[in-house]
Every structure is written in C-alpha cells, then in structure tokens.
Amino acid sequence: MDTIEAIFSRHSVRGFKSDPVPKETILKILEAANQAPSTANTQPWQLYVAGGEVLDKIRKVGTARYMGGESPKYDVLPFNDWPPALKALIDKNRGERFRLLGIDRQNKEALKANQALNYQFFGAPVAVFICMERTLGALSIFDMGAVAQTIMIAARNYGVDSIPALNFVPYPDLLHQELQIPDNLMLVLGIALGYADPDNPINKFRSYRRPINEAVTFRGI
C-alpha cells in the first residue's frame, strides 16, 4: 500500500472485530511511527500499549465511571468554544452518524449509550496511549499529533484500522494505575487499533471533508 492510498483509506473505525493484532505487527507500526518529526528532534512521546485483560479492565472500570455520571478529568483540556465554522462541521458529521445508526438526538439515554462506546474503545483489541512530560508545552502537543497520525497511517500499511479519541483518556488516574505510567507523564490521546467489523453499520460512515479550496490559500504561486 503506498502512502497516498494509506492516507485516503484511513478512517475512524467505530466498530472493531475481536481478532487480535499480532504483537509483531504492533511493533512494526510503532517503529515506523517513531520516525515522526518533532520539535528540535526531541521525540517527546512515550507510548503505552494495552490489550488483553489489562485493556478489558480499563474498559470495564472506565465505562462504569462514565455511566455512573463521573465527569472526565482530561490531562489536556480538549477545547474552549469552537468557532462557528468548526462547530458546523462537528454537527454535520455527528448528525450523519446518528442518522445512520437510527439515534434520535433528543433521546438522552441512546446518546449516552452511544457515547459509552468510546469508553469501551469500540471493541478494539489494542489501545495505544500517547503520553508526554507534564512540563512540556504547545509545540510538544503538535509532536503528539505527528506521532499519532504516523501510527494510524503506518497501521494501514499492515491492514490495521484505527480511531484516535480524547475519550480514550478520560480518567488519567485509572490509566496511570493499570499501565504503571509515571506521575511525571500526562496522557494526551488514545488510539484504538484493530480490524474493522464489516457488519457494523457505523463503519459505512465516512466523515464529510470540506473542499480543499476552502482550506488552502495560495499567494505568489
């Protein structure tokens, strides 16, 4: 698979098969991701990989805490107010997903049950947690994005699907405990890895992408 094919074939999978991803494949994906660019070549990422009973416990406890009404306590604040144009994109894609699943946006119980799938990693057999030193700043957050994207593109080379989500790291204390992550590291993002379930209707969804001329401005070329 060439790079362009990997980029265009990657999409956020929200329904995985239980089939395991071989450890050797995971290592190859992460070895490729370790080539990602970083500020001053600091390579500030620390990656923790969970599967099996460890990930199952994280799923179980995290879902119970969410369904019990506990608010997330992200290490990285997700956002402030979205600008109108970005909020419109969020609403458009979210609305399309709900229509595909037959979820009424006024049905709070159905919305909560759907949201809980995040805490279950959408059934993926593997999750990669991206961490960095708490003392680092915004440029290192960019580096986390670079390594995350490289993980997902490299995964496509090996036929592995993925989805990144902030809601994979909602309760840092749980992840620090179960993954033995040192206190000096903060959790930035999680990525679920596995194989898409072709029978799950949500995997037919593809998010709307705005035309490139809305995102790019040329000057002098």
Nearest to 59 by CA among 11, 13, 127: 127
pLDDT value at position 40?
96
pLDDT at 124 over 90: yes
pLDDT at 141 over 80: yes
Q: Note whether residue 109 is domain-resident.
A: no
Q: Note whether residue 207 is domain-resident.
A: no
Total structural domains within the chain? 1
Q: How far apart are CA 176 and CA 183, in angstroms?
A: 7
Q: Note whether residue 162 is domain-resident.
A: yes
Can you state the angle between helices 23-33 and 138-157, rounded to 10 degrees?
130
Q: What is the CATH number of the domain that holds 26?
A: 3.40.109.10
Q: Find residue 126's DSSP bridge partners.
A: 51, 193
Range of the domain at 53: 3-77+119-202
Q: Note whether residue 114 is domain-resident.
A: no
What tens digit of pLDDT does each residue of 167-206 get?
Answer: 999 999 999 999 999 999 999 999 999 999 999 999 999 9
Q: Note whether residue 93 is domain-resident.
A: no
Nearest to 30 by CA among 126, 136, 123: 126
* Conformation bin of residue 29: beta by default, left when phi > 0, alpha when psi is -120 to 50: alpha
Q: Note whether residue 96 is domain-resident.
A: no
pLDDT value at position 1?
85
pTM recorded for the entire structure: 0.94
